[in-house]
């Protein structure tokens, strides 16, 4: 089992910014994973998530500053939820 993600194919535009949303699932055996979005963004400005398990441990979001188009979610086993990212094209 592994960390998996999906990306909604309907981006939202906010002036010169774009917002993407999707889902993630961490069935176990890992502590999270990366969501890479270079096809959509030149730089991610903000990102977040929402774990949907009732007893979900904290899920943290990090933006990779060296790449600028990757979000790293860190979470416990058997946690899933939704994520969002806002960035420039």
pLDDT in tens, 28-67: 777 888 899 999 999 999 998 887 765 555 667 788 777 7
Say whether pLDDT at 20 is over 70.
yes
| Phi then psi dihedrals of residue 52, to 5 deg | -110, 5
- At 30 the three-state DSSP class reads coil
C-alpha to C-alpha distance for 31 and 46, rounded to whole angstroms: 21
Mean pLDDT of the chain: 83
Please say whether the dihedral angle defined by the alpha carbons of residues 88, 12, 14 and 25, taken in this order, is positive or negative: negative
Full-model pTM: 0.81
Mean pLDDT of 77-88: 88
């Amino acid at each position: 089992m592994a960390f998996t993600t999906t990306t909604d194919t309907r981006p939202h535009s906010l002036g010169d910014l774009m917002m993407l949303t999707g889902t993630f699932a961490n069935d176990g055996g890992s502590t999270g994973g990366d969501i890479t979005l270079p096809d959509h963004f030149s730089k991610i400005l903000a990102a977040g998530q929402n774990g949907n398990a009732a007893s979900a441990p904290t899920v943290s979001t990090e933006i990779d500053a060296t790449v600028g188009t990757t979000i790293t979610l860190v979470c416990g086993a058997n946690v899933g939820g939704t994520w969002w990212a806002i960035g420039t094209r």
